[in-house]
Amino acid sequence: MRFSLRLAAVFISGGTISAQNTVSNWFPIHVGDKWVYEHTSRINNGGGQAHPDVRTWRTEEITIGSWTVPEGTVVGRQVRVIEGAPPPDAALSPSPTLTAAPSPAYLIRGECLYGPEYGEAGWNPSDHQLTPDFRKGLTVGWLAPDFCFPLVAHKRWGAPHGLPDWGVARPEQAKDWEVVGMEARDPSAPDLHETFHVANISSYPGSGFTVDIWFEKGVGIVREEDIHHGTIGEVRTRLLRFEPAPQR
């Protein structure tokens, strides 16, 4: 009996390690990994369709550490604007990219990744713990992962569509995703490698947004388009370069 329990523990531990290795094969997690992005926003903030507020700026993102928590592994980044300036009123933006914290965190949980944009990975860097609201969201099922690896054509993932036993309605920010296509030599990728086109396929009423992401294995997001098909506007992001940290 003791042997069986020990063997089961080995299998569970091995499965956890294997799942996290799957994510790390797709999503860089080394301290010092660096991405430089260019963002362009077009927001109709009262000037009408003929006079939108158009902004262009660049950001630098650097992985600064990783921490083990009961829910998985947290990977922290530091983000700073290195050129230009985002819109002064980020609340008008259709994209969470504009309102991301300067020190965002990603949670690796199983084979899935919860990010600071759509997964809202709440992280308290002072005590190295996930925030209570984020932990509750994971437990109840409010939150959808940004990505679940490996990415393959037509794969889908997302948040539950309401949990009647918990008395929980599906939250507006919960999104469903699908890998809707692949590009063998994507010209939008700095190295022209293969990318996976991931699209938001949520259909809850009143959304008004479409989100399209192009992801390269071992690099991350190389292009993103967040568009509000009404009167608010759009944000387009593209990767200018990725610099992996030197391997020791």
**pLDDT score of 34:** 97
pLDDT at 37 over 60: yes
69-97 mean pLDDT? 76
For residue 11, count CB atoms less than 10 angstroms from its CB and return exposed for 0-12, middle for 13-18, buried for 19 or more: exposed
- State pLDDT tens for residues 151-206: 999 999 987 654 444 455 555 556 789 999 999 999 999 999 999 999 988 765 44
Q: Evaluate the omega torsion of the peptide bond into residue 150 and state whether it is cis, within 30 degrees of 0.
A: yes
Characterize 29-61 residue by residue with b for buried, 16 or more Cβ atoms within 10 angstroms of its Cβ, and e for exposed: beeebbbbbebebbbbbeeeeeebbebebebbb
Q: How far apart, in Å, do the first and last CA atoms of the chain sit?
A: 42
2-243 placed in CATH 2.40.360: yes
Q: What is the DSSP letter of 4?
A: H
Residue 111: pLDDT band with limits 50, 70, 90:
very high
**Could you state, in order of their start, the residue ranges of all structural domains in the chain?**
2-243
CA dist., res. 111 & res. 118, Å (int) = 17
Question: How far out from the chain centre does Cα 23 lie?
Answer: 13
